[in-house]
């Protein structure tokens, strides 16, 4: 599975007033209290232990070694979406508390502090190489950290029970007569410790630190401008630490009483809190730059052409090979704007994929240089702008499609209305009008016949009365087809029941919680049911019954016309004028129509219309 960072835009932080948020805040309070306690303990040890120098000033210096990394770590832990770097700094600050114990005059506490100082370098190397994400990015970085741990494990810790006294002076302590090593187990100190082990481990430590600085410089050179802004302060403090280390160790071996050792020792010690501040400064610089870059990107993406979106992202993120990918219809896999597949980068490759998704499920992916791995917030923000642009374009396309569909629907409704008027005119002309014309002619003939044969004339008058009633009934049927009076007078339920009684198929009507509604809603539902019933009569060969069901549920009026005919395959459905008319009628009142069928299971025409409360 390829590497990807999945980002939900809504997950910028924990929601307020939730159990997760409360637990998170409680954790931060506990960690802050722990850091404060360690800082106070350190200051108390310095202030209560006699020694050379300004003790309050020394106490403040030792306290900074703990307080600054823990404070910066808490800040990043609390406010940065990727909290790993904050957690690393908090752990480092707590670990760096151990060397400050060397200020104590007690043999055991002092010895713990001297041994604890050996753990500072592996922790610092990890902090440097993992900045700014808190994660080691490559095998070489992991190997260097492992080598530093092995160096401490093999050449430092084994000497603890072998030496009578630790080397003096000491960057983390200011004792004039330092206590003896409380962990010494041998009768006397072996000569090879001073002659072989200490020179060897010092050389290896210097070489290892040089490798760390080379790796950081190489990473800085290969990074984007945004990452260079982040890592430059880290490299500067790392160089200061390296120079202090390279100077302090040989100078102490050559002249332990040199006055310069104290100044170098303070530089050596204060690079620990300075490293935390350098990481914070780098992140602030990168965030300011990212904000300006995103502002320029947002301005440029106000009215972009399709090709300009990717070009703007490439320039903003300094990655000419960046690709913007999309999903189609929720299917797996990504495609570019031209519909070409975009493969996901393989694990360990120089490319990576960052996905940005919103609460609606819309998503885009940025396939970019892995050098941007540690700028996830920046990549996410740029992807969010692209996603917002995509959503706006989709919305505009939907609005345009809706307007086009509305225009086409209005045109179809106008055509239907014109056709209906022509049908009414034709029915009047061919039906009732012809009857009335014939009736008028026959009335003239009867008028003449009444003078010659009154009895025969009276009989013809009675026949003409029957024809007049037939003409009247035909006019009523025509008017009923235009808008049923029963629908207007008694509502949808009674009109559908009357429709079922007049149908050629055996029909039944099922009603649940249906009342009166706006005339346009009742009309739309009635004529959709009428059209569906006529289609069943015409097309459902072999059908014996039709069920019309209508319900009011959850603010919607729902209906279904179901026959027991032979049905058909869904892909065989060809939208005709009747189906289009039904959809247009429902769409005009905000409703939807669906048609479902399976061979042997009949056909169902269903619809729903939002109606709110019952009328």
pLDDT one-digit tens code per residue, 142-185: 999 999 999 999 999 999 999 988 888 888 888 878 899 999 98
Angle at the Cα of 262 (from 259 to 267), degrees rounded to 5? 135
CA dihedral sign, ordered 264, 269, 275, 277: negative
Angle at the Cα of 142 (from 137 to 144), degrees rounded to 5? 125
Q: Residue 17 has what pLDDT? A: 60
pLDDT digits (tens, 9 = 90+) for 73-119: 999 998 887 788 999 999 999 999 999 999 888 999 999 999 999 99
Q: Residue 157 has what pLDDT? A: 92
Q: Quote the radius of gyration of the chain (alpha carbons, Å).
A: 44
Q: How far apart are CA 190 and CA 195, in angstroms?
A: 9
546 beta partners: 507, 563
pLDDT at 186 over 70: yes
**Rounded alpha-carbon distances, angstroms, from residue 220 to 217, 226, 229, 232, 275:** 5, 10, 9, 7, 16
Joined together, the tokens standing for residue 419 give 């056709």
- Given the candidates 3.30.750, 1.20.1070, 1.10.530, 1.10.10, the CATH classification of the domain at 18-171+178-292 is 1.20.1070
Backbone torsions φ then ψ of 6, nearest 5 degrees: -95, 125
Angle at the Cα of 233 (from 231 to 237), degrees rounded to 5? 115
Q: Residue 277 has what pLDDT? A: 95
The answer to whether 313 and 305 have CB atoms below 8 angstroms apart is no
pLDDT digits (tens, 9 = 90+) for 231-266: 899 999 999 998 898 888 888 888 888 889 889 989
Class of domain 487-610: alpha beta
Is there a shared CATH topology between the 18-171+178-292 domain and the 487-610 domain? no
Residue ranges of domains in the chain: 18-171+178-292, 421-482, 487-610
Q: Report which of 562, 566, 569 is spatially closest to residue 542, judged by C-alpha positions.
A: 566
Question: Helices 577-588 and 376-427 meet at what angle, rounded to 10?
Answer: 120
Q: How far apart are CA 129 and CA 234, in angstroms?
A: 10
pLDDT at 430 over 70: no
Q: Which helix (H) or strand (E) holds 506?
A: strand 506-512
pLDDT at 420 over 70: no
The answer to whether 276 and 287 have CB atoms below 8 angstroms apart is no
pLDDT at 14 over 50: no
Q: Give me the percent of the chain exceeding a pLDDT of 70.
A: 76
CA dihedral sign, ordered 169, 170, 171, 177: negative
């Amino acid at each position: 599975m390829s590497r990807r960072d999945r980002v939900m835009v809504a997950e910028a932080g924990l929601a307020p007033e939730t159990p997760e948020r409360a637990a998170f805040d409680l954790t931060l309070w506990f960690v802050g209290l722990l850091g404060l306690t360690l800082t106070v303990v350190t200051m108390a040890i310095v202030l209560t232990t006699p020694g050379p120098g300004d003790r309050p000033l020394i106490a403040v210096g030792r306290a900074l070694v703990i307080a600054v990394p823990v404070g910066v770590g808490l800040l990043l832990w609390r406010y940065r979406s990727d909290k790993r770097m904050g957690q690393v700094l908090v752990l480092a600050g707590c670990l760096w508390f151990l060397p400050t114990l060397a200020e104590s005059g007690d043999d055991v506490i002092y010895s713990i502090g001297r041994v604890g100082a050996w753990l500072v370098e592996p922790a610092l190397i990890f902090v440097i190489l993992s900045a700014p994400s808190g994660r080691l990015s490559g095998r070489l970085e992991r190997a260097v950290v492992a080598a530093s741990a092995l160096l401490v494990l093999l050449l430092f810790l084994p000497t603890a029970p072998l030496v009578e006294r630790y080397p003096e002076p000491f960057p983390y302590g200011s004792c004039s007569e330092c206590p003896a090593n409380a962990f010494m187990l041998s009768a006397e100190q072996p000569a090879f410790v001073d002659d072989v082990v200490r020179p060897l481990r010092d050389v290896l430590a210097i070489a290892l630190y040089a490798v760390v600085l080379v790796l950081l410089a190489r990473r800085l050179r290969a990074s984007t401008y945004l990452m260079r802004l982040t890592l430059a302060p880290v490299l500067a403090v790392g160089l200061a630490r390296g120079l202090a280390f390279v100077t302090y160790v040989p100078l102490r071996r050559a002249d332990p009483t040199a006055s310069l050792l104290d100044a170098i020792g303070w530089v050596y010690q204060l690079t620990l809190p300075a490293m935390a501040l350098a990481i914070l400064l780098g992140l602030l610089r990168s965030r300011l730059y990212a904000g300006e870059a995103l502002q320029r990107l947002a301005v440029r993406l106000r009215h972009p052409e399709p090709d300009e979106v990717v070009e703007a992202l490439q320039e903003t993120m300094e990655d000419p090979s960046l690709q913007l990918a999309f999903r189609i219809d929720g299917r797996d896999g990504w495609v570019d704007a031209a519909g070409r597949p975009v493969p996901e980068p393989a694990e360990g490759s120089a490319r990576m994929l960052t996905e940005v998704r919103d609460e609606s499920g819309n998503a885009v992916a940025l396939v970019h240089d892995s050098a941007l791995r540690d700028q996830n917030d920046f990549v996410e923000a740029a992807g969010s702008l692209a996603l917002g642009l995509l959503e706006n374009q989709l919305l505009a396309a939907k609005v345009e499609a809706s307007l086009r569909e509305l225009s086409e629907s209005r045109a179809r409704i106008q055509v239907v209305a014109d056709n209906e008027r022509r049908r009414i005119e034709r029915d009047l002309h061919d039906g009732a009008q012809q009857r009335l014309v014939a009736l008028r002619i026959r009335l003239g003939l009867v008028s003449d016949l009444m003078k010659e044969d009154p009895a025969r004339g009276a009989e013809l008058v009675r026949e003409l009365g029957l024809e007049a009633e037939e003409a009247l009934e035909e006019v009523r049927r025509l008017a009923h087809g235009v808008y049923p009076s029963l629908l207007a007078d008694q509502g949808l339920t009674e009109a559908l029941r009357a429709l079922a009684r007049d149908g050629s198929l055996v029909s039944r009507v099922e009603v649940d919680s249906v009342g009166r509604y706006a005339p346009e809603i009742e009309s739309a539902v009635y004529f959709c049911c009428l059209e569906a019933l006529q289609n069943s009569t015409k097309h459902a060969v072999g059908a014996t019954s039709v069920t019309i069901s209508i319900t009011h549920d959850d603010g919607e009026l729902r209906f279904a016309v179901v026959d027991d005919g032979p049905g058909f395959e869904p892909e065989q459905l060809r939208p005709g004028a009747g189906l289009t008319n039904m959809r247009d009628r429902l769409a005009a009142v905000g409703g939807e129509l669906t048609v479902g069928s399976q061979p042997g299971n009949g056909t169902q025409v269903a619809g729903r219309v939002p109606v709110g409360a019952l009328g």
